Amino acid sequence: MKVQVRYFASLREALGSGEAVELPAGSRVADLRAALVTRSPLHAEKLGAGRAVRCAVDQLMCQDEAQPLPEGAEVAFFPPVTGG
């Protein structure tokens, strides 16, 4: 399945505005994040384990990385505090 990833605030400055990612059916937010950290050393630095990063799936805040991803989902990653 394909999902669209969007980055905001300092993540956007480092990684760009976003990218499309192909994942196996039934993937969760944790699977997406694990796939993203393998893309480059910068992805690993910004999105790796232990990094404070918030996530929203289809514009709804995601509290748990076990959140399933539907086909075609828009997944946003951003730092826990962003400016207006």
Judge contact between 77 and 11, C-beta under 8 A.
yes
Domains of the chain: residue spans and CATH = 2-78 (3.10.20.30)
> Residue 50 — left, alpha, or beta (φ > 0 → left; ψ -120 to 50 → alpha)?
left
- Tokens matching residue 20: 């499309």
Name every residue whose Cβ is closer than 8 Å to that of residue 46 and which is 6 or more positions away in sequence: 11, 14, 15, 53
What is the reported pLDDT for 83? 59
The residue with tokens 């605030």 is 9
Give percent of the chain above pLDDT 70.
96
pLDDT greater than 60 at residue 1: yes
What is the reported pLDDT for 84? 56
What is the reported pLDDT for 41? 96
Say what the pTM is: 0.90
Over residues 30-58, the mean pLDDT reads 94
What Å distances lie between residue 18 and 8, 23, 56, 62, 80, CA to CA? 9, 16, 14, 18, 18
